[in-house]
C-alpha cells in the first residue's frame, strides 16, 4: 500500500447529534439494522466536507486567514499608545486589585513604550512607527481594543483563543467553520495550519477536531522538509496501482462499516485515504511558489532574510484561499517579551509587517479581500509594568484584561477602532468583550450563528463559545 494517512484520526469515538440512521437504529436491533444498511449507502454519497449554506446567506466572508502571534504581543507597543507611561517611566508601580500571576510579584516599575506612534491612513489608526508597511493599508483594518481572556498562562490562553476552552480537547475555530460551511475544494483539507518548526504552546490541540468528526481537524504543513509526509508515492508505484489499492481497501472497509454502525473513525480514515490520493495531484503545484512572478515575491518580502519565512506563509495562504481552502491559520512567535522588548518586538514586527501588508494588498488586487476575513491576534496582552530592569532591558508580563486584535476584509468595519483601555493599558474599559464574544462575531461574519452551530457531545449540545456569547456589532460593517 503506497498511500498513508497524513494526519491521525481521533483517538476516541465522539458522541454527536443523532443522525437519521442512529435514530432508526436505536428503535430496535432488527428494524435499526435494516434501516442502517439503506441509510449508510445514501449518506456515503455525500462528502462530509461538502459546501453548506450558512445561517446568514448575506454574509460576505467565505474564507479565513488567521494570523496567530503566539506568545502575546504587547498592545501598548503595537496599536494602543499610552502617553501616560512616558511620565511614569521606571517609577515604582502601585498595584490596584489582586495579583493575578506569580509573574507580577515583587517590586515593579512602570515601563514606557520604546516605540513612537503615528496616526496612519485617513482613519487615523494608532500604530507604532515601525509598522511601516501595514500603515499603508491602515484604512482596511478594524482594530478591537476591548477583548479580554481568562488565563495568564500560554497553553491555556492559546486553547481559549483557538478553541474556546482553556483546558484543551475542544475543536479549533477552523474545525467549527468547516463543520458549519464545508470545504470549497474536495481535493485539499478545509483547515490548513502553517506552524513554526516548533509547535506553539499547547501543541497540535490548538487545531484539533476535538469531539467533531475527524474529517474537520486541521492539517499542519511542516515548516521544513516535505510539507506533508508520504505525499509523493514510492518509486515505481503508478497512479493506476494506487487507485486499485484504494478501491480494494474501500470495498473491505465498507463491508466492515456495515457491520459496525456509527464508526466515525473508520469513515474518517476512508475519507483521509481518498483525500491523500487526490492531494498528490493538487498539493505539489499549490505549495510551489517558484512559479510566482518576481514582483509578487518582492511584494511579500521573499528573498529578504527578515521577511522570507513569514512572507512565504502569507503568499501560500493566499494561494490556498484561491484553491478553496476554507480556513488557513499562520503562526508566528514568540512574542513573549518579558525583557528587551524594543529588540524582541522590533525584530518580530520587522519579520511580519511587510508580508501581512502584502497579503492584504494582494487579496484586494485580486478581488478576494471582501470574501476573505483576516484576523491578527495573540493569546493575551501585556502589562504596563515589569520587574526590576535597567537601561533598555525592560519588557512586559502577561495581561488577560487588555489586548488588541484587528480584522481586515470579510465584511468587518474597516477604518475604525473599537473599544479602549485605561490610561495605562492595564484594563479594557470601553467596548469590553470576552473572547467568546469575539468568537461569536467571527462566526457571524462568516454567516454562522453560534447558537445554531452546535454538536451533541457528552450529554449536551456544545458550541464554540462554550455557553453562548454576544455579537460585537461594532466590528461588523
pLDDT digit string (tens) for 212-228?
998 899 999 987 766 66
Where is pLDDT greater, at 49 or 143?
Answer: 143
Per-residue pLDDT at 281: 56
pLDDT digits 0-9 by tens, 89-139: 989 887 666 555 545 556 788 999 999 999 999 999 999 999 999 999 999
CB 300 within 8 Å of CB 315: yes
Specify the pairing of strand 385-386 against strand 109-110: antiparallel
The rounded percent of the chain whose pLDDT value lies above 90 is: 67
Reference 217, options 376, 51, 67, 329; nearest CA is: 329
Question: What's the mean pLDDT in 262-279?
Answer: 58
- Whether 244 maps to a domain, the answer reads no
pLDDT level of residue 396 (50, 70, 90 thresholds): very high
Mean pLDDT of the residues in the chain: 85
Query: Is the per-residue pLDDT at 159 higher than 50?
Result: yes
CATH of the domain at 354: 3.40.720.10
Length in residues, the chain? 477
Long-range contacts of 243-248 (CB under 8 A, 24+ apart): 243/277, 245/1, 245/2, 245/3, 246/3, 246/273, 246/274, 246/277
Question: What's the mean pLDDT in 330-347?
Answer: 94
User: CA-CA distances (angstroms) from residue 360 to 373, 409, 428?
Assistant: 10, 8, 28
Question: What's the mean pLDDT in 383-389?
Answer: 77
- Whether 46 maps to a domain, the answer reads no
Per-residue pLDDT at 288: 85
Per-residue pLDDT at 274: 52
Query: Is the per-residue pLDDT at 346 higher than 80?
Result: yes
- Whether 127 maps to a domain, the answer reads yes
- Whether 303 maps to a domain, the answer reads yes
Q: Provide the residue range defining the domain that includes 336.
A: 62-226+299-475
- Whether 264 maps to a domain, the answer reads no
Dihedral pair phi/psi, residue 273, rounded to 5°: -60, -45
Per-residue pLDDT at 387: 66
Per-residue pLDDT at 3: 43
Q: Is the dihedral of CA 294, 299, 300, 306 positive or negative?
A: positive
Reference 335, options 398, 283, 386; nearest CA is: 398
CB 182 within 8 Å of CB 52: yes
| Cβ density class 21-47: b for 16+ within 10 Å, e for less | bbebbeeeeeebeebbeebeeeeeeee
User: What's the total number of domains in the chain?
Assistant: 1
C-alpha cell at 124: 487615523
Query: Is the per-residue pLDDT at 343 higher than 50?
Result: yes
Question: What's the mean pLDDT in 381-386?
Answer: 92
C-alpha cell at 473: 456589532
Query: Is the per-residue pLDDT at 12 higher than 60?
Result: no
Reference 15, options 213, 258, 167; nearest CA is: 213
Q: Which of 49-53, 238-242, 361-365 has the highest mean pLDDT?
A: 361-365
- Whether 428 maps to a domain, the answer reads yes
pLDDT level of residue 375 (50, 70, 90 thresholds): very high
Where is pLDDT greater, at 17 or 234?
Answer: 234
Query: Is the per-residue pLDDT at 323 higher than 70?
Result: yes
CA atoms within 13 A on the CB side of 384: 28
- Whether 456 maps to a domain, the answer reads yes
- Whether 111 maps to a domain, the answer reads yes
Amino acid at each position: 500500500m503506497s498511500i498513508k494517512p497524513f494526519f491521525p484520526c481521533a483517538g476516541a469515538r465522539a458522541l454527536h447529534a443523532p443522525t437519521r440512521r442512529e435514530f432508526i437504529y436505536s428503535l430496535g436491533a432488527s428494524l435499526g439494522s435494516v434501516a442502517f444498511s439503506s441509510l449508510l449507502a445514501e449518506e456515503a454519497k455525500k462528502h462530509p466536507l461538502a459546501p453548506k449554506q450558512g445561517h446568514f446567506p448575506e454574509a460576505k466572508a467565505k474564507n479565513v486567514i488567521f494570523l496567530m502571534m503566539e506568545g502575546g504581543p504587547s498592545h501598548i507597543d503595537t496599536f494602543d499608545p499610552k502617553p501616560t507611561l512616558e511620565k511614569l517611566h521606571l517609577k515604582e508601580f502601585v498595584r490596584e486589585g489582586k495579583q493575578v500571576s506569580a509573574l507580577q510579584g515583587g517590586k515593579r516599575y512602570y515601563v514606557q513604550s520604546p516605540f513612537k506612534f503615528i496616526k496612519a491612513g485617513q482613519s487615523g489608526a494608532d500604530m507604532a512607527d515601525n509598522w511601516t508597511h501595514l500603515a499603508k493599508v491602515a484604512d482596511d483594518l478594524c482594530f478591537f481594543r476591548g477583548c479580554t481572556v481568562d488565563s495568564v498562562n500560554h497553553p491555556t490562553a492559546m486553547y481559549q483563543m483557538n478553541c474556546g476552552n482553556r483546558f484543551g480537547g475542544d475543536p479549533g475555530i477552523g474545525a467549527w467553520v468547516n463543520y458549519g460551511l464545508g470545504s470549497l475544494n474536495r481535493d485539499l483539507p478545509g483547515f490548513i495550519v502553517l506552524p513554526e518548526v516548533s509547535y506553539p504552546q499547547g501543541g497540535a490541540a490548538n487545531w484539533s477536531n476535538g469531539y467533531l468528526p475527524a474529517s474537520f481537524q486541521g492539517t499542519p504543513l511542516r515548516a521544513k522538509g516535505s510539507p506533508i509526509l508520504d505525499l509523493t508515492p514510492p518509486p515505481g508505484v503508478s497512479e493506476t496501482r494506487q487507485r486499485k489499492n484504494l478501491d480494494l481497501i474501500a470495498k473491505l472497509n465498507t463491508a466492515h462499516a456495515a457491520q459496525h454502525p456509527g464508526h466515525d473513525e473508520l469513515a474518517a480514515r476512508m475519507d483521509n485515504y481518498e483525500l491523500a490520493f487526490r492531494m498528490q495531484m493538487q498539493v505539489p503545484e499549490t505549495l510551489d511558489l517558484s512559479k510566482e512572478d518576481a514582483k509578487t515575491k518582492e511584494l511579500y518580502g521573499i528573498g529578504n532574510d527578515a521577511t522570507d519565512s513569514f512572507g512565504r506563509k502569507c503568499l501560500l495562504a493566499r494561494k490556498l484561499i484561491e484553491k478553496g481552502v476554507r480556513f488557513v491559520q499562520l503562526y508566528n512567535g514568540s512574542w513573549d517579551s518579558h525583557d528587551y522588548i524594543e529588540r524582541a518586538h522590533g525584530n518580530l514586527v520587522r519579520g511580519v509587517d511587510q508580508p501581512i501588508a502584502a497579503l492584504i494588498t494582494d487579496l484586494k488586487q485580486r478581488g478576494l479581500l471582501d470574501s476573505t476575513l483576516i484576523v491578527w491576534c495573540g493569546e493575551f496582552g501585556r502589562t504596563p509594568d515589569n520587574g526590576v530592569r535597567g537601561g533598555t532591558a525592560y519588557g512586559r508580563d502577561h495581561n488577560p484584561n487588555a489586548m488588541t486584535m484587528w480584522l481586515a476584509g470579510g465584511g468587518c468595519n474597516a477604518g475604525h477602532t473599537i473599544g479602549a483601555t485605561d490610561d495605562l493599558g492595564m484594563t479594557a474599559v470601553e467596548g469590553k468583550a470576552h473572547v467568546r464574544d469575539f468568537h461569536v462575531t467571527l462566526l457571524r461574519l462568516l454567516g454562522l450563528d453560534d447558537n445554531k452551530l452546535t454538536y451533541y457531545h457528552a450529554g449536551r449540545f456544545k458550541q464554540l463559545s462554550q455557553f453562548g456569547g454576544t455579537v460585537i456589532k461594532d466590528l461588523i460593517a
